[in-house]
């Protein structure tokens, strides 16, 4: 709905190729916008590359044969857990604004980014040029409640009609919306996010010393990790669940939340450690028997 | 979403001119279907007239210049609180089915209809020819939770994609959906509806003896009532809230729910009674002073 | 496309219930607008009733549960051949404009209206408040060529993108568009329309004296006519083709064009006259034989 | 319209990243399909790579978070003038069909491909697995007339409604459609295409011996050519028009048609030759004066 308020049907939405809106919404942006096109850009750690953006905002502008660049969509923190600094957002938003586009932020993990950077949310949003924000409470403690935060007030009326007609003005919604009051009171949203980030940091700290384990750096509550296949299989056998097989072989993704406990983290680290030790032992005994056998 | 699963974009949805989908959804059916057209039919008490339906299902079939009749949509109980009998639904659904249309039921008040008729829900739905049902929990105790009940299973897969892409596969939805377990257990949904119907009956009983008050007959939890404007104004002054001014002058609508108490009802009846008495008194004293003045 | 440029998807288009856009476009307005709703108004001779319009422009404005009145669409000449005067257009457009709507004219027979009124096209369009006009050449001599005339220039850029993306920027379109040069040069479009109107007038003159024939008054190139069924059947037998059976029984519609000749008209009048004479003769002889038989 | 008949709104269309539908339709496929997504695949010479297709047809099938692979779209001849053989089409279509997709062919240059291969059109279309074909007359002699050829007859009825509602059932269309009779009679379409191909071959023959000119191989009526910038500028100065600056620097595209004459081709070759000679001369004299200056 946010994107639909910012682009005409013949517009394009410039986003990262790893972005949730591009990969995981079953075409919802296309549905809500009446057929706008998502243009996938590259960049490290799911952060949009400024040079690619610079080229994309000017692509075929004014040419009726092409969709017209209309919105820049940034995800904060990104789908890989990286965090844009206020300066980075300002730079990308500036490129977009200068070319007449508006700026959307998918803030599904905004709380984690604010917690990671220790900055004011305003620095990551409207002060940096963001026009509209999907606030994102459901990954951080909320239940079927979320909020669109509108900084460009020219679209507020339109959004109320778009919401109703899309079945997003739920009956008795006030009972779900009330969560937001608690969520924002006493910085609960930030406390939840700080906890989630801390759990990922704890996980990182626990795993990094284990032989055979390689970690991508993390800034928020997502940790990508390369593990031997044997260890992955062992964790799955023990009932652990996590995404794997969607990236390179042997790469898994761990995500922590407000509900993750230190016990949860330590148990996972312990499990990896034991599986690794067993694998080393098995490997040695194989080598040994091979040696004996010679 | 239900209608979208039953009609192509060039189809038409035959519904009552007073139906919620025609008047109160800000064009949601048009949005979800990709531009299908609602054809508004007449009939007493917001129940579709069978003769009008018979004509409509054959209107310009096969003519590319016209939208094609694709779905019959019935509301049970209707927007005025009337109830279709199983035979009536069967008759209307039969006309639709015979002409190749499918049948949707807006069951926002289905529980009230089941409670009023004392029949099995199946008799009002799939056994009578309904293909898909909007179950409607939020008027009867639910919070932001509802269900689409699919009897024509050919559309189930499609609906899962439609739901996701329409933003109707909410994050953490299981916590909202859990309400349905409680709602259906021990007939809570029917007990709620019976209570709501009983409260409307009690209201009807209380109001009908008051001079100047005229009631439409009711079968469910909606009571249309004609009151003198002076009484309406008096109730509003006392803080009562209800729809008025949307139908003929001096017609108001009272709706009771699972949460309406006998105290609520009796207080309203009492308020109408007192206001009426005061009005009669005032009228008499005016007549008196007039008489005196002569 | 014109309507889509004037209304958001949650808007409504106020039009006559007999209008072409409401009945004969297979939902094209709904498709192009992304699901806007057509609100059908009444009025004599397919001309919109001003009082109904006055009520409709204010219907549920600002209420998110309802589509929002956005466009008034007038057909000139109307689908029954009636003609709005400049004052009538100005009055209706004024009601719309005052309420914030914009005004579309379906000018499929605009040439016939201009010819009938002998006025300047500007008086029927932009001077009277029309924002956008479907010019309508194909009923008056053009082949797969037409024009949208935009008076409210704020929508021109948008229309160029809408046209391309709707497949309405045809390859080699300049060869079709060239017709418009000839069409407008030397008032060919008006000469064609005057001829068509004259042929309808000639037909009216020829038919009105024939017993059993009743004519609706006509102002342009459409003549509605009530004929005995026997005469209708006789004409069909002779190979004449015309719409019948779409209105009341025994009502037929004759439409003349730039290509209709006086010979064509006179032959039809002659055919009706002969068929009528034969029917009278047959009726008399039946009466006679009945008399004899007694 | 063809794509819309083959995919649901939550489907994806697998096409080459250089395809016309992906780059040059202002989002028309997204508009007509109600928001389906185009997935851009790679491959040499704008021909889809079979391995990429194989991966794409299975991508997230059954996962509601993702659009579902629904159509393969092939362009014949491709946007760079390459030609798929019947075997290549059969192989790609087979991958698509095996995974449950249907196959669309953008045949804007089908005639050129048929002419180049000397085969029967059936071998390139339905016999190879194509379900629906955009026939493409307007690049080869037609004026605002084209045809969709449907091999999978299950979509014919649907297409007639889609056409009408998209404004593609033009008034008086028969006069435009009549061109197709002449186009197909006596193989005019193939004679036109053979001529266009021959003119490109002639151009290739003429240019290849000119120093500094490098040509991509061509199979149809498109020739990509690398020229020194000085030569490009010289041609533009002389009034030649062609696309340049859209690919790598100094790459231009020449397209020939039924209307291109040997004189046109020879004049262009002559112009390039003269400009090249002049450039060489200038270069020599500069070198000479440099030498003198030492």
Cβ pair D11, D72 in contact under 8 A: no
pLDDT band at residue B286 using 50, 70 and 90 as cut-offs = confident
Q: Give the other-Cβ count within 10 Å of B69's Cβ.
A: 24
pLDDT band at residue D189 using 50, 70 and 90 as cut-offs = very high
Q: Measured between alpha carbons, how far is B170 from B144 in angstroms, rounded to an integer?
A: 11
Chain B partners within 8 Å of D168 (Cβ): none
Q: Measured between alpha carbons, how far is A52 from A72 in angstroms, rounded to an integer?
A: 12
Q: Does residue A17 surpass a pLDDT of 70?
A: yes
Any alpha helices (H) in chain A, and if so which ranges? 2-6, 20-23, 28-33, 50-57, 86-98, 110-117, 121-124, 156-165, 173-184, 188-208, 229-237, 262-293
Does residue B290 come out as left (phi exceeding 0), alpha (psi in the -120 to 50 range) or beta? alpha
Q: Does residue C237 surpass a pLDDT of 70?
A: yes
Q: What is the mean pLDDT of chain D?
A: 95
* pLDDT value at residue D293: 46
* pLDDT value at residue B289: 64
List the single residue in D with minimal CA-CA distance to B166. D10
Contacts of residue B16, Cβ cutoff 8 Å, sequence gap at least 6: B22, B40, B41, B42, B43, B46, B47, B48, B75, B78, B79
* pLDDT value at residue B218: 83
Q: Measured between alpha carbons, how far is A172 from A164 in angstroms, rounded to an integer?
A: 13
Could D66 and A35 be called an inter-chain contact, meaning their C-beta atoms sit closer than 8 Å? Answer: no
* pLDDT value at residue B247: 86
Could D175 and C144 be called an inter-chain contact, meaning their C-beta atoms sit closer than 8 Å? Answer: yes
Q: Is D178 helix (H, G, I), strand (E, B) or coil?
A: helix
- The CA angle B269-B271-B275, to the nearest 5 degrees, is 120
Q: Give the other-Cβ count within 10 Å of A36's Cβ.
A: 28
Q: Where does residue C239 rank: exposed (0-12), middle (13-18), buried (19+ CB within 10 A)?
A: exposed
Distance from CA of D105 to the nearest CA of B (A): 24
Q: Give the other-Cβ count within 10 Å of B43's Cβ.
A: 18
Q: Interface partners of B (3+ CB pairs, < 8 Å)?
A: A, C, D
pTM above 0.80, yes or no: yes
Q: Measured between alpha carbons, how far is C198 from C201 in angstroms, rounded to an integer?
A: 5
Largest CA distance in chain C: 81
Distance from CA of A144 to the nearest CA of B (A): 6
- The CA angle D18-D21-D24, to the nearest 5 degrees, is 80
For B5-18, the pLDDT digits (tens) are: 999 999 999 999 99
Arithmetic mean of pLDDT, C40-62: 97
Q: Measured between alpha carbons, how far is C166 from D232 in angstroms, rounded to an integer?
A: 35
Q: Measured between alpha carbons, how far is B258 from B141 in angstroms, rounded to an integer?
A: 7
For C80-107, the pLDDT digits (tens) are: 999 999 999 999 999 999 999 999 999 9
pLDDT band at residue B72 using 50, 70 and 90 as cut-offs = very high
* pLDDT value at residue A136: 87
pLDDT band at residue B269 using 50, 70 and 90 as cut-offs = very high
* pLDDT value at residue C223: 95
- DSSP letter (8 states) at residue C251: E
Arithmetic mean of pLDDT, C259-277: 97
The tokens for A76 are: 């904060």
Cβ pair B11, B56 in contact under 8 A: no
Q: How are the residues of chain B apportioned to helix, strand and coil, as percentages rounded to the nearest 5?
A: 50, 15, 35
Can you spell out the DSSP letters for D181-208? HHHHGGGHHHHHHHHHHHHHHHHHHHHH
Largest CA distance in chain A: 81
Q: Does residue D264 surpass a pLDDT of 90?
A: yes
Cβ pair D56, D48 in contact under 8 A: no
**Full strand arrangement of the beta sheet holding D102-106:** D37-41, D11-16, D68-75, D102-106, D132-134, D148-150
Q: Does residue A159 surpass a pLDDT of 90?
A: yes
Distance from CA of D64 to the nearest CA of B (A): 5
Q: Measured between alpha carbons, how far is C273 from A148 in angstroms, rounded to an integer?
A: 72
Share of chain C above pLDDT 70, in %: 98
Any alpha helices (H) in chain B, and if so which ranges? 2-6, 20-23, 28-33, 50-57, 86-98, 110-117, 121-124, 156-165, 173-184, 188-208, 229-237, 262-293
pLDDT band at residue B290 using 50, 70 and 90 as cut-offs = low
Arithmetic mean of pLDDT, D126-143: 95
Q: Measured between alpha carbons, how far is C274 from C281 in angstroms, rounded to an integer?
A: 10
Q: Measured between alpha carbons, how far is D196 from D220 in angstroms, rounded to an integer?
A: 8
* pLDDT value at residue A286: 85
Chain D partners within 8 Å of C1 (Cβ): 167
Of B108-122, C175-189, C211-225, D256-270, the poorest mean pLDDT is in C211-225
The tokens for A95 are: 């490129």
Q: What is the mean pLDDT of chain C?
A: 95
Could D64 and A30 be called an inter-chain contact, meaning their C-beta atoms sit closer than 8 Å? Answer: no
For A244-271, the pLDDT digits (tens) are: 988 889 999 999 999 999 999 999 999 9
Could A8 and C158 be called an inter-chain contact, meaning their C-beta atoms sit closer than 8 Å? Answer: yes
* pLDDT value at residue A241: 93
Q: Measured between alpha carbons, how far is C114 from C121 in angstroms, rounded to an integer?
A: 6
Q: Measured between alpha carbons, how far is B277 from D166 in angstroms, rounded to an integer?
A: 63
Identify the helix (H) or strand (E) that includes residue B38: strand B37-41
* pLDDT value at residue B133: 98
Q: Specify the long-range contacts of residues D89-93, CB closer than 8 Å, at least 24 apart.
A: D89/D124, D89/D128, D89/D129, D89/D130, D90/D127, D90/D128, D90/D129, D91/D50, D92/D48, D92/D50, D92/D53, D93/D128, D93/D129, D93/D130
Q: Measured between alpha carbons, how far is D28 from D31 in angstroms, rounded to an integer?
A: 5
Q: Give the other-Cβ count within 10 Å of C178's Cβ.
A: 11
The tokens for B204 are: 């009807």
Peptide bond into D258 cis (omega under 30): no
ipTM: 0.93
Any alpha helices (H) in chain C, and if so which ranges? 2-6, 20-23, 28-33, 50-57, 86-98, 110-117, 121-124, 156-165, 173-184, 188-208, 229-237, 262-293
Rounded to a whole number of angstroms, the CA Rg of chain A reads: 22
Arithmetic mean of pLDDT, C202-225: 92
Q: How far apart are the first and last CA of chain D?
A: 69
Look-up of token digits 């046209």: C163
Contacts of residue B247, Cβ cutoff 8 Å, sequence gap at least 6: B224, B253
**HEC assignment per residue over C34-77:** CCCEEEEECCHHHCCCHHHHHHHHCCCCCCCCCCEEEEEEEECC
Q: Does residue C129 surpass a pLDDT of 90?
A: yes
Could C30 and B24 be called an inter-chain contact, meaning their C-beta atoms sit closer than 8 Å? Answer: no
Best of B19, B26, B59 to disrupt the C interface by mutation (most C CBs within 10 Å)? B26
The tokens for A120 are: 């004011």
List the single residue in A with minimal CA-CA distance to D33. A35
Dihedral sign, CA of C220, C221, C222, C226?
A: positive
Q: How far apart are the first and last CA of chain A?
A: 69
Arithmetic mean of pLDDT, D120-128: 98
pLDDT band at residue A293 using 50, 70 and 90 as cut-offs = very low
* pLDDT value at residue C115: 97
Q: Which of B10, B160, B164 sits opposite D165 (nearest CB)?
A: B10
pLDDT band at residue D246 using 50, 70 and 90 as cut-offs = confident
pLDDT band at residue C290 using 50, 70 and 90 as cut-offs = low
The tokens for D176 are: 């435009």
Q: How far is CA C258 from CA C82, C117, C133, C194, C198, in A?
A: 18, 18, 21, 8, 10
Largest CA distance in chain D: 81
Question: Do you know the residue count of chain D?
Answer: 294
pLDDT band at residue B217 using 50, 70 and 90 as cut-offs = confident
pLDDT band at residue C289 using 50, 70 and 90 as cut-offs = low
Distance from CA of D163 to the nearest CA of C (A): 9
Question: Which of D91-110 are b and which e, b meaning 16 or more Cβ less than 10 Å from the residue's Cβ?
Answer: bbbebbbebebbbbbbbbbb
Look-up of token digits 């932009």: C126
* pLDDT value at residue C218: 83
Could D65 and A24 be called an inter-chain contact, meaning their C-beta atoms sit closer than 8 Å? Answer: yes
* pLDDT value at residue D216: 84
Q: Interface partners of C (3+ CB pairs, < 8 Å)?
A: A, B, D
Q: Give the other-Cβ count within 10 Å of B201's Cβ.
A: 18
Cβ pair C66, C10 in contact under 8 A: no
Arithmetic mean of pLDDT, A85-100: 98
DSSP E strands in chain D: the ranges are 11-16, 37-41, 68-75, 102-106, 132-134, 148-150, 214-215, 222-226, 243-244, 251-255
Could B30 and C30 be called an inter-chain contact, meaning their C-beta atoms sit closer than 8 Å? Answer: yes
Distance from CA of D158 to the nearest CA of B (A): 9
**Full strand arrangement of the beta sheet holding B37-41:** B37-41, B11-16, B68-75, B102-106, B132-134, B148-150
Distance from CA of C130 to the nearest CA of A (A): 24
Does residue A148 come out as left (phi exceeding 0), alpha (psi in the -120 to 50 range) or beta? beta
Q: Measured between alpha carbons, how far is C130 from D22 in angstroms, rounded to an integer?
A: 37
Of B154-163, D2-11, D246-255, the poorest mean pLDDT is in D246-255
Q: Give the other-Cβ count within 10 Å of D283's Cβ.
A: 11
For D99-115, the pLDDT digits (tens) are: 999 999 999 999 999 99
pLDDT band at residue A287 using 50, 70 and 90 as cut-offs = confident
Tell me the residues of A at the C interface, defined by beta carbons under 8 Å apart.
8-10, 34-35, 64-65, 68, 158, 160-165, 169
Q: Measured between alpha carbons, how far is C79 from C75 in angstroms, rounded to an integer?
A: 7
Q: What is the mean pLDDT of chain B?
A: 95
The tokens for D213 are: 């000119």
Q: Measured between alpha carbons, how far is D6 from A46 in angstroms, rounded to an integer?
A: 33
Largest CA distance in chain B: 81
* pLDDT value at residue C294: 45
């Amino acid at each position: 709905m946010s994107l639909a308020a910012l682009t005409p049907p013949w517009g394009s939405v410039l986003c990262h190729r790893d972005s949730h809106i591009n990969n995981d919404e079953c075409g919802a942006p296309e549905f809500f916008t009446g057929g706008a096109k998502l243009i996938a850009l590259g960049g490290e750690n799911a952060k949009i590359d400024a040079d690619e953006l610079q080229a994309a905002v000017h692509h075929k502008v004014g040419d009726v044969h092409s969709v017209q660049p209309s919105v820049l969509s940034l995800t904060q923190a990104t789908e890989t857990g990286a965090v844009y600094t206020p300066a980075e957002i300002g730079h990308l938003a500036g490129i977009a604004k200068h070319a007449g586009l508006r700026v959307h932020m998918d803030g599904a993990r905004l709380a984690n980014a604010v917690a990671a950077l220790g900055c004011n949310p305003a620095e990551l949003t409207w002060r940096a040029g963001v026009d509209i924000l999907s606030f994102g409470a459901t990954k951080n403690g909320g239940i079927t409640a979320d909020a669109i935060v509108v900084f460009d007030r020219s679209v507020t009326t339109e959004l109320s009609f778009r919401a109703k007609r899309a079945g997003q003005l739920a009956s008795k919604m006030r009972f779900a919306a009330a969560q937001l009051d608690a969520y924002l009171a006493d910085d609960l949203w930030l406390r939840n996010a700080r906890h989630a980030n801390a759990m990922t940091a704890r996980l990182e700290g626990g795993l990094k010393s284990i032989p055979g384990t390689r970690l991508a750096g993390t800034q928020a509550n997502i940790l990508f990790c390369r593990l031997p296949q044997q260890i992955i299989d062992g964790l799955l056998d023990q009932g652990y669940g996590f995404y794997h097989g969607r990236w390179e072989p042997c790469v898994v993704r761990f995500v922590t939340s407000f509900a993750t406990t230190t016990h949860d983290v330590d148990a996972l680290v312990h499990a990896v450690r034991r599986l690794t030790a067993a694998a080393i032992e098995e490997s040695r005994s194989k080598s040994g028997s091979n040696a004996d056998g010679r």
